[in-house]
Amino acid sequence: MNNLTVEDVKKIKNPDRLIEIAKNQDLNTKIRNQALENIEDKGIFKDLAYDEDKFLRLYVAEHIDDDEILLDLILNDSDDWVRHLAGNNFVDNCDAAKYEDVLLEFALENPAYNVSPYTKTDWTAKSACDRINDNSKLLRIIKESESEHVYSAAIHKADRESLAELLYGEKLGMKKKLVIAAEIEDDERLMELLEVPIGPTRKYVPNDGDLGDDGICGVWVVGNISPGDSIYTSIVFSYPNEEIVIQALNIIQHESYLEYIRGHHKSPKIRDLASKRLEHIKR
């Protein structure tokens, strides 16, 4: 068996033989992976989902089309990579109407569901939010999520009347209010909020080998990126009121955002203003 090649395995159709190959830990992963790909009856994966061999569980977590098994792996598997892959598969492919409560847990980044061994979990959370349609759940995400990716996605989907109530009634942070005001195109409220811009919340003095707030190594003596720059840039590109666009542009502090606006905005006037703002920042 150790003389098998990937091309050999591609010709094999017998499921028992394919399982035998997939379970052989002496073979390289490409051959074992090909054996799993050749299995036509995906129901076999149900048994492999609980195999002691992590390689098999990882494959099943990524490829099985069974919401209940995926949920079981998410909540109970001993390996974070298996849980992570099962979570991504579940969020992207589950019966969203049936599992909206579970998707909400992902969107709120509940660590019992939304786990990642290597990075932040807010992209999985955003994907979960994108599949939620219940307005009350979207409003809860807006109130509770601390991820701009996630609450912005919820704001984009939520009922506009409910958003207006949040904007004037709830004690939300400035960033969330800005996104809501821009979403419902409330010029008066948005201008009022832009008059009190979000400034830098912390300073950063990088050491050799450390990453600054923008992820660049050893560049910023004092980090000057505003927590609201991405929101202001979004307003610059999407908002219909030019006065508000200019107001948002004149708050942006980070050079890369201004350079992008200068190079990509459709309005020559806004491109010119971005260039002037950039010169001002660089002084």
Res 210: pLDDT: 40
Q: What are 30-62's pLDDT values in tens digits?
A: 999 999 999 998 889 999 999 999 999 999 999
Nearest-CA neighbor of 256 among 267, 232, 247?
Answer: 232
Tokens matching residue 226: 């505003």
Tokens 């950063």, located at residue: 204
Mean pLDDT of the chain: 88
Nearest-CA neighbor of 81 among 52, 109, 60, 58?
Answer: 58
Res 200: pLDDT: 59
Q: What are 9-35's pLDDT values in tens digits?
A: 999 999 999 999 999 999 999 999 999
Res 276: pLDDT: 95
Contact 59, 35 (CB under 8 A): no
The dihedral of CA 104, 105, 109, 113: what is its sign?
Answer: negative
Tokens matching residue 143: 């109130």
Q: Is the pLDDT of residue 211 over 50?
A: no
DSSP-derived secondary structure for 143-207: HH---HHHHHHHHHHS-HHHHHHHHHHS---HHHHHHHHHHTT-HHHHHHHHTS---------PP
Res 85: pLDDT: 96
| pLDDT range class, residue 7, cuts 50, 70, 90 | very high
Measured in whole angstroms, the distance separating CA 251 from the mean position of its chain's CA atoms is 26
C-alpha span between 194 and 238 (Å, rounded): 15
Q: What are 136-194's pLDDT values in tens digits?
A: 999 999 999 999 999 999 999 999 999 999 999 888 999 999 999 999 999 999 999 99
Establish how many alpha carbons lie within 13 A of residue 271's alpha carbon, considering only the half-sphere containing its beta carbon. 7
Res 208: pLDDT: 42
Q: Which residues contact 169 (CB under 8 A, 6 or more apart)?
A: none
C-alpha span between 54 and 171 (Å, rounded): 46
Q: What are 233-278's pLDDT values in tens digits?
A: 999 999 999 999 999 999 998 899 999 999 999 999 999 999 999 9
Q: 87-115 burial by CB neighbour count: b if 16+ within 10 A, else e?
A: bbbbbeebebeebbebbbbbbbbeeebbb
| pLDDT range class, residue 120, cuts 50, 70, 90 | confident
187: left (phi over 0), alpha (psi -120 to 50) or beta: alpha
Tokens matching residue 86: 């099962």
3-state secondary structure of 217: strand
Contact 214, 254 (CB under 8 A): yes
H-helix or E-strand spanning residue 209: none
| pLDDT winner (highest mean) among 44-48, 66-70, 190-194, 205-209 | 66-70
Length of the chain: 283
Q: 10-39 burial by CB neighbour count: b if 16+ within 10 A, else e?
A: eebeeeeebbebbebeebeeebbbbbbebb
